[in-house]
């Protein structure tokens, strides 16, 4: 299981990646994260709500009212053009980060 500290800086990346596919509400995002992560990571609701609010404040996502499949009112989030640009930057940064950390983990010499 991945600890919350290890993944903390990547929650926004995960949320934006999911919203790139389609608008969603927080509970659905949590379910999608659980489905993708399996037993390796479980996001806390407070962490997720903090992330979507932070992303909304930064204009990376917007929110709008809607209803779930059951008809229950929900607040949906969708990625903005700025959010897509930010996501692209963060994905490139992630690839570099993985590469650097892998060099240490694999024991490469300098």
The correct answer on CATH 1.10.10.10 for the domain covering 4-105 is yes
Angle of helix 81-105 relative to helix 11-21, nearest 10 degrees? 130
Sorted by where each begins, the domain ranges of the chain are: 4-105
pLDDT in tens, 13-44: 999 999 999 999 999 999 999 999 998 998 99
**Taking the model in full, what pTM does it have?**
0.88
pLDDT in tens, 44-57: 999 999 999 999 99
């Amino acid at each position: 299981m991945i600890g919350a500290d290890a993944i903390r800086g990547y929650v926004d990346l995960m949320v934006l990646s999911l919203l790139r596919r389609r608008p969603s509400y927080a509970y659905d995002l949590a379910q999608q994260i659980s489905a993708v992560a399996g037993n390796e990571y479980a996001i806390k609701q407070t962490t997720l709500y903090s992330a979507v609010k932070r992303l909304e404040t930064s204009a990376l996502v917007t929110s709008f009212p809607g209803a779930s499949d059951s008809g229950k009112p929900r607040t949906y989030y969708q990625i903005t053009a700025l959010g897509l640009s930010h996501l692209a930057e963060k994905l490139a940064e992630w690839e570099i980060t993985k590469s650097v950390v892998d060099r240490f983990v694999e024991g490469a010499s300098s």
